[in-house]
Amino acid sequence: MAELIAVGVERWPVAGSFVISRGAKTHVDVVTCIVGDGLHRGRGEGTPIYYKGEDAEGCAEAIRAFAARGPFDRASVNAGMTAGAARNALDCALWELEAQAGGQPVWALAGLAEPVAMATAFTISLGEPDVMEAAALRAAAAGYGLLKCKLTGEGDLARVGAVRRGAPDVRLIVDANESWGDLDIAAEAAALAALGVELVEQPVPRGQDERLYDVVSPIPFCADESCQTAADLDRLGMYQAINIKLDKAGGLTEALRLAEGARVRGQVIMVGCMLGTSLGIAPAFLAAQDVRWVDLDGALLLAEDREGALVAEQGLLRPGSLWG
């Protein structure tokens, strides 16, 4: 059993700005916590899910309130807390604590493969086509072979076309961020397929997923906002893929459960992230070792990161010494 040692809120600046259809961010606020058993300590970080109404101070208070009940472990945390950033931070801290106490790395404790460097997507923020084209050119020059374009439901084909001109040889995926509710989804997907796009994230708003059942698309659709925990999987048969994010799932424990459930149902897996430091990305890095699409650039988009951070070299993300 563990006790809470510390909980806090930190603000980290974004390198430039991060723009999606819902707006621009110049910083990210994260909640952090440290847990201990008297001999060992574990650390965790969560980024509040804005579309669930979370904020960092509220997440910190949720951690304090749960910890005030008395000693806890991963089972009690996952049973007693709602999925979200607060539970993610606490769950991941407990994974590290258990690993430290057992004298083994987290990946071994979880029964996962030893982590190796992986190619990660790099996000091209929403902007005018020429701006996105220039960003794609820079990302490709830096060695990124998989780019993710943020879309808005208006002018998307021009934006993706510009990205393709800037980086003609990369793989492309797009994130519609629920913005295709009023569009001809099949026509949009067919046009994007002609530009070499291989995946469309969350084309319709959460709650309107049934619209995808009758859509004939050459590109698989990936549930993001619609897929948060394993409990969502039974109603998501219209999606060929799911995006697992630890902040949505509420921790590494639920993320692994979600991945197993998706595999059983034949759905392809992406592991993604929110903006955050490498302390928050490192647990997802372990869960992403054997998935189709890795989208873990959340710390790479910040102006600075923690000591011992994951390292990106020529588009490959390599494990650091920060966590686990």
Taking the model in full, what pTM does it have? 0.95
CA distance 85 to 55: 9
Q: Domain residue spans in the chain?
A: 3-103, 118-318
52 is catalytic: no
Q: Note the pLDDT of residue 19.
A: 62
Q: Note the pLDDT of residue 13.
A: 96
Q: Among 25, 52, 148, 245, which one carries the catalytic annotation? A: 245
CATH number of the domain at 3-103, out of 3.40.1010.20, 3.40.50.1370, 3.30.390.10, 3.30.420.10? 3.30.390.10
DSSP secondary structure letters along 255-271? HHHHHHHHHHTT-EEEE
CA distance 311 to 158: 33
Per-state percent for the chain, helix, strand, coil, to nearest 5: 35, 25, 40
Question: What contacts 24+ positions apart, CB below 8 Å, involve 105-112?
Answer: 105/324, 106/252, 106/283, 106/286, 106/323, 106/324, 107/286, 107/289, 107/324, 110/252, 110/256, 110/286, 112/286, 112/287, 112/289
Residues of the chain falling short of pLDDT 50: none
Task: Tell me the Cα Rg of the chain.
Answer: 19
Q: Note the pLDDT of residue 253.
A: 98
Q: 118-318 domain in CATH 2.40.10.340?
A: no
Q: Among 25, 52, 150, 248, which one carries the catalytic annotation? A: 150
Q: Note the pLDDT of residue 46.
A: 98
CA distance 273 to 120: 11
Helix 85-102 to helix 278-287 angle, to the nearest 10 degrees?
Answer: 70
Closest CA to 141 of 151, 133, 149, 130: 133
245 is catalytic: yes
Write the pLDDT tens digit of every residue in 185-217. 999 999 999 999 999 999 999 999 999 999 999
